[in-house]
Copies of this chain bind each other. A is one copy, B any other.
Amino acid sequence: MSELYQLGVAEAAEGIRGGALSAVELMEALLARCAALEDSLKVWVTLDGDAALAAARARDRELATEGARGALHGVPVGIKDIYYTRGVLTTCGSPIFAEFVPDYDATGVALLKRAGAIIMGKTVTTEFACGDPAPTVSPWNAAHTPGGSSSGSAVGAAVGMFPASLGSQTGGSIVRPSAYNGVVGLKPTFGRVSRQGVYPVAESLDTMGPITRGVADAALMLDALAGHDISDTDSSRQPVADYSRAATSSAKPPRIGMVTQFFMEQCDDETREHTENVVELLRKAGAVVSEVSLPTNFDEVLLAQRTLMAVEGAQVHERNFALRPDDYSPNVRGVVEQGLATPALTYLKAKRLQRDFRRAAHAALHGYDTLLMPSTPAPAPPSRETTGDPKFQSPWTFGGFPEITLPSGLSASGMPLGIQLVAAHFDEVGLLAAAAWCERAMSIDMGMPPIC
């Protein structure tokens, strides 16, 4: 490990706790990294270096006097700019919120602070976490999209501006930008992580989760984030587990159900061949891989996910959209307008399909630790006019299933490729154990992207 900015969450936390490293040293290294790269990559909406350094100094003092707050003591994190942060601008990527400074922290932010993490600042989100491209630049190739909507959180993690960040997913907004940028993105089960204090996209889909460069780091973040929150009506009372232990214990080779249906049909040839090679590698390493199929029409599922997002999104934006229609970019506008025009029966049918798909995917998972498929139909497309296609992630968000993307290699054009694992509701332990096993078996070193 040559540079401090390359330290992961666990390494950084251990270094600080053990005295090998101070929170201030680490923060200085990361701020230097940000200073060097921000002009070209546009990761940040708000980055206050002085405040971050002051917080790092405070953490170092606390460690010396009271000891570590928790497993993330001194670890700097980036926060997607739809999470409310007390006293810190929260724009939601919209001119309507250009000057909005919340007076409280989102539960996710508060939990990270409680575990000792330091909030460096707020990362770029697409407008209201929808599909209008944000200014963030892909460090792999500036002509390609970095993905969205957690664009800054994914790119910042990829280039070592921070070891971890928070994203959110309504369709594919954690997993897709993570896959496009060669990092690990974890979308937990719907209801596993509180959404209190996060500006909503769609109430029956929105899920909060971390972006990191490794599976064990994602698990450490989930340890801090998971749990019931009485302020979030959809927050689950399912007991939490020791996710970090699940990701670091030596697990048996996983039983993998490979979903060829839809996912291997609708990806490009290179992605298909790559995924087949990955599966072959995993099989040789000892994984048991079988094909599974679902009695599901995935195109209907995607339409239903879009219906929920549109209707529930329109509910969120109805008032502002009526007052300030010109402050909405085309993609969000399209979401809201579709939602306003949707009949109740169409919405009810989508909700019913959501229940049916949950059952079907759980049935498909029977006998498997995880389902596997490519994370995206293709690497990040060579366009800044799109954030890419969420169709490989949206079904799992629609069904509420936990999923994770792992970097699995590079395309011929030098863009990251990823595989996606999916597990049963609230089986983040199984998901992370399988993901950690696959990560070790693949033993991919993505290295740092070219533009950094």
Contacts and interface: CB of A to CB of B under 8 A. Distances in A.
B345 A346 contact: no
Interface in A322-369: 339-349, 355
Interface residues on A, range: 10 to 19
Interface string A260-274: 000000000000000
Interface stretch (A43-51, A312-320, A409-417, A421-429): A312-320
A233 interface: yes
A339 B342 CA distance: 13
Interface in A291-322: 307, 311-312, 314-315, 318
Contact of A342 (B307, B341, B344): B344
Nearest to A352: B315
A339 B343 CA distance: 9
Contacts of A342: 343-345
B311 A348 contact: yes
A311 B355 contact: no
A421 to B, nearest CB: 28
A344 B349 contact: no
Contacts of A343: 340-344
Contacts of A318: 345
Describe A's contact surface by its main secondary structure: helix
A150 B233 CA distance: 34
Given A344-B347, A345-B318, A233 B355 contact: yes
A323 B341 CA distance: 25
A312 B347 contact: no
A202 to B, nearest CB: 11
Copies in the complex: 2
A234 to B, nearest CB: 11
Contacts of A307: 344
Nearest to A315: B348
**Residue of A318, A341, A343, A349 contacting most chain B CB atoms (<10 Å):** A343
A315 to B, nearest CB: 5
Contacts of A311: 344-345, 348
Nearest to A359: B233
**Residue of A233, A342, A348, A349 contacting most chain B CB atoms (<10 Å):** A348
A345 B308 CA distance: 11
Contacts of A349: 315
Contact of A314 (B233, B341, B345): B345
Contact of A347 (B233, B340, B341, B347): B347
Interface string A19-50: 00000000000000000000000000000000
Contacts of A314: 344-345
Contacts of A340: 343, 345
Nearest to A349: B315
A349 B347 CA distance: 13
A348 B351 CA distance: 12
A339 B318 CA distance: 21
Interface string A226-257: 00000001000000000000000000000000
A400 B124 CA distance: 43
24 contacts: A233-B355, A307-B344, A311-B344, A311-B345, A312-B348, A314-B344, A314-B345, A315-B345, A315-B348, A315-B349, A339-B344, A339-B345, A340-B343, A340-B345, A341-B343, A342-B343, A342-B344, A342-B345, A343-B343, A343-B344, A344-B344, A344-B346, A344-B347, A347-B348
Given A315-B349, A347-B347, 17 more contacts: A233-B355, A307-B344, A311-B344, A312-B348, A315-B345, A315-B348, A318-B345, A339-B345, A340-B343, A340-B345, A341-B343, A342-B343, A342-B344, A342-B345, A343-B343, A344-B344, A344-B347
